[in-house]
C-alpha cells in the first residue's frame, strides 16, 4: 500500500481538542479567545465498519471544514485567528501539509462544523461529508474533546451487486453469494469502499418468485441465493434496496437518499452437461515467512462455470477458507473480489519449512491444487529509527493475538519521542532500563506514547483483530 495511503487510509474522525488559553492581545475586546486544536485523528479501520469515516482503501484526501456560530453565521479567520470583520477565510483545510492539524483562536460559544472530505488529486471528488447538524460543540475555558462525524458518499455507477466469486455460468439449483460492493466516486480510476455503518438496512428482492430463493434475509454485505428459473423465465434478477449518503451536485454536499442496485444473469435450464474443466488457480510465490507476523497469501481462482470454495492448508492443517462454516479459531477467511483475486493471512508458528497448499474447488467438485515450500524464520524485534515529521508511517499485516516487538532507538537531543499505534491492539512498553512504562490511550483505536530519555525503548504490540497496523515513530 502506498505510503500516502497509510497516512490518509481509514480517516475516521476529526478531533477538536479544546484547551483554554486567554489571549492578552485578543482582536475582539469584548470576547476572550480560546485556543482550539482542530485535528484529524487517524483511526485504522481495516474492516471498514465505523460510522465516522472510511475504510482502508480511501485515496489521498483532505478535510475542508466550515465553522458556524450558534446564530448560523459562517466564522471567518485571519490565518487561524477569529476575524470579527467577517472578511477572512471561511474554509479551514486539514491535510498532509499541516499534518491534519490547525490551532485556532475562537471566542467562547457554541459552534457547528461542516466537513467535506475531498480528494487531493483534483479536489473535485466529494469522498465524505459531515453535516453541521451532526457536529456541534461548545468552546469554553474548561476544555473538551469533540469528534466530528463524516460519512462516505455513495456512487451507484462505481458500485455493484455481484457474485462474491467467479461465476461464468449459472445453472438451475446453483447456490452462490451475491456481494454488495458499495463505492465512492472514483479518483484516478480507484474508488473507496463505503463503510456498512454509512448505509441503512438492506432488503433484497427477486424479480419473480420463480427466479430462485433468497437463503435468509441477507445483510449489508450481501445475500446467499439459489437459482431456479423456468423455461419461460430463465433469468435470475435480484435487487438490493437501502439508503446511503448521496452527492448533491447543486450544493456540493450529500444527504441520505433511497438507492438500489440490481443483479441479473441468465439461468441455464433444461440442460444436461458434464463439467470436466478444473478451476484455474494461481498462488503467488511467498518467499520467507516469519513467526509472530502475518504473511499475506495471494493469487487468483476462476472457473468456466462457478468457483465454489478456496482453501489454504499448511502442513496438512486448514488455515484459511472461503467457507464461513469453516472459519473457526485458527482458520482465517479467504477474501475474494468476484473477479478471481483472492487473499488470505497466515500466521506462521514454527521455524523451519512449511508446506503451503491451496485448493480451488468448482461447483461440480472438480479441484485444482498448488503447493509451495516456504521457509519460516523467527521474527526478532523490529528495530525502528525515529525520523522527523515526514514519511514516518510503517504498515504491518497482523493477526489477532500474535504480538510484534519493536525496538526504538531514541535520542533525547532530537526532541520528544512519539510512538503511536493506529489500529486495534494492546501495547506494553519498557524504557531503556527495562522499567515498564504507562501507556496513554487517548482515543478508541490507537495508543499514544511520549518518552524523553535517550536509549532503546521496547514496545510489544498485541493485535486484538486481524488487520493492518500503522506504526508511527518520529520526533516532535
Q: What is the pLDDT along the chain (476 residues), one digit of tens a residue?
A: 443 333 333 333 333 333 333 332 333 444 678 888 776 644 333 222 222 456 767 888 889 999 999 999 999 999 999 999 999 999 999 887 777 778 888 898 899 999 999 999 999 999 999 999 998 888 886 555 566 688 999 999 999 999 998 888 898 888 999 999 999 999 999 899 999 999 999 999 999 999 999 999 999 999 999 999 888 889 999 999 999 999 998 899 999 999 999 999 998 876 656 667 899 999 999 989 988 778 999 999 998 888 999 999 999 999 999 998 999 988 999 999 878 899 999 989 889 999 999 999 988 889 999 999 999 998 778 888 776 554 456 778 788 888 888 888 887 777 677 777 877 888 888 888 888 887 765 444 445 555 567 788 888 888 888 777 878 787 76
- Cα–Cα distance, 234 to 174 (Å, whole number): 13
> Which of 33, 25, 195 has the alpha carbon at shortest distance from 117?
195
- The candidate with the shortest Cα–Cα distance to 94, out of 210, 15, 10, is 15
Between the two ends of the chain, the Cα-to-Cα distance in Å is: 25
pTM of the complete model: 0.69
* CATH top-level class of 156-266: mainly beta
CATH entry 1.10.357.20 includes domain 382-475: no
Neighbours of 394 (CB within 10 A): 15
Q: What is the dihedral of CA 201, 202, 208, 211, to 10 degrees?
A: -140
Are 417 and 457 contacting, i.e. CB atoms less than 8 angstroms apart? yes
- CATH second-level architecture of 280-377? Sandwich (2.60)
DSSP per-residue codes, 290-331: ETTSEEEEEEEEE-SSBEEEEEEEETTEEEEES-GGG--TT-
Q: C-alpha cell of 82? A: 477569529
C-alpha cell at 286: 511467498
Where are the extended beta strands (E) located within 76-143? 77-78, 81-82, 92-94, 101-107, 109-119, 126-130, 136-139
CB atoms within 10 A of CB 161: 21
156-266 and 382-475: same fold?
Answer: no
Task: Break the chain into its structural domains and give their ranges.
Answer: 3-152, 156-266, 280-377, 382-475
Q: How many residues does the chain have?
A: 476
| Distance (Å) of CA 122 to CA 126, 127, 143, 187, 192 | 10, 12, 36, 8, 15
Amino acid at each position: 500500500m502506498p505510503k500516502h495511503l497509510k497516512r490518509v487510509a481509514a480517516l475516521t474522525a476529526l478531533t477538536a481538542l479544546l484547551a483554554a488559553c486567554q489571549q492578552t492581545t485578543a482582536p475582539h475586546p469584548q470576547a476572550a479567545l480560546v485556543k482550539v486544536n482542530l485535528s484529524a485523528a487517524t483511526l485504522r479501520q481495516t474492516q471498514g465498519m465505523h460510522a465516522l469515516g472510511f475504510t482502508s482503501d480511501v485515496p489521498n484526501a483532505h478535510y475542508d471544514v466550515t465553522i458556524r456560530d450558534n446564530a448560523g453565521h459562517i466564522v471567518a479567520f485571519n490565518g487561524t485567528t477569529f476575524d470579527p470583520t467577517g472578511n477572512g477565510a471561511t474554509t479551514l483545510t486539514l491535510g498532509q501539509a499541516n499534518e491534519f492539524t490547525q490551532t485556532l483562536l475562537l471566542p467562547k460559544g457554541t459552534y457547528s462544523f461542516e466537513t467535506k472530505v475531498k480528494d487531493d488529486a483534483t479536489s473535485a471528488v466529494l469522498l465524505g461529508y459531515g453535516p453541521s447538524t451532526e457536529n456541534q460543540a461548545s468552546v469554553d475555558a474548561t476544555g473538551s474533546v469533540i469528534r466530528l462525524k463524516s460519512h462516505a458518499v455513495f456512487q451507484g455507477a462505481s458500485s455493484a451487486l455481484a457474485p462474491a466469486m467467479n461465476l461464468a455460468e449459472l445453472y438451475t439449483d446453483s447456490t452462490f453469494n451475491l456481494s454488495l460492493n458499495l463505492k465512492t466516486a472514483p479518483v484516478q480510476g480507484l474508488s473507496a469502499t463505503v463503510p456498512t455503518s454509512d448505509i441503512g438496512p438492506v432488503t433484497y428482492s427477486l424479480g419473480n418468485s420463480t427466479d430462485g430463493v433468497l437463503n435468509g434475509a441477507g445483510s449489508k454485505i450481501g445475500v446467499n441465493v439459489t437459482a431456479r428459473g423456468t423455461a419461460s423465465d430463465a433469468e435470475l434478477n435480484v435487487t438490493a434496496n437501502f439508503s446511503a449518503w448521496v452527492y448533491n451536485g447543486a450544493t456540493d454536499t450529500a444527504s441520505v437518499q433511497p438507492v438500489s442496485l440490481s443483479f441479473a444473469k441468465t439461468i441455464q435450464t433444461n440442460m444436461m452437461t458434464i463439467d470436466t474443466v478444473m478451476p484455474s488457480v494461481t498462488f503467488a510465490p511467498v518467499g520467507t515467512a516469519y513467526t509472530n507476523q502475518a504473511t499475506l497469501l495471494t493469487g487468483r481462482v476462476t472457473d468456466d462455470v462457478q468457483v465454489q470454495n478456496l482453501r489454504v492448508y499448511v502442513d496438512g492443517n486448514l488455515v484459511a477458507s472461503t467457507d464461513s462454516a469453516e472459519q473457526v479459531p485458527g482458520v482465517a477467511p479467504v477474501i475474494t473480489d468476484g473477479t478471481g483475486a483472492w487473499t488470505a493471512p497466515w500466521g506462521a508458528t514454527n521455524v523451519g519449512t512449511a508446506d503451503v497448499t491451496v485448493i480451488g474447488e468448482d461447483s461440480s467438485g472438480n479441484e485444482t491444487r498448488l503447493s509451495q515450500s516456504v521457509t519460516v524464520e523467527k521474527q526478532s524485534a523490529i528495530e525502528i529509527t525515529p525520523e522527523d515529521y515526514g514519511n514516518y508511517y510503517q504498515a504491518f499485516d497482523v493477526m489477532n493475538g500474535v504480538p510484534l516487538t519493536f525496538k526504538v532507538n531514541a535520542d533525547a537531543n532530537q526532541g520528544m519521542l512519539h510512538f503511536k499505534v493506529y489500529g486495534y491492539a494492546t501495547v506494553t512498553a519498557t524504557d531503556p532500563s527495562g522499567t515498564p512504562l504507562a501507556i496513554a490511550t487517548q482515543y478508541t483505536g490507537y495508543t499514544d506514547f511520549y518518552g524523553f530519555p535517550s536509549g532503546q525503548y521496547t514496545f510489544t504490540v498485541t493485535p486484538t483483530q486481524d488487520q493492518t497496523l500503522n506504526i508511527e515513530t518520529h520526533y516532535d
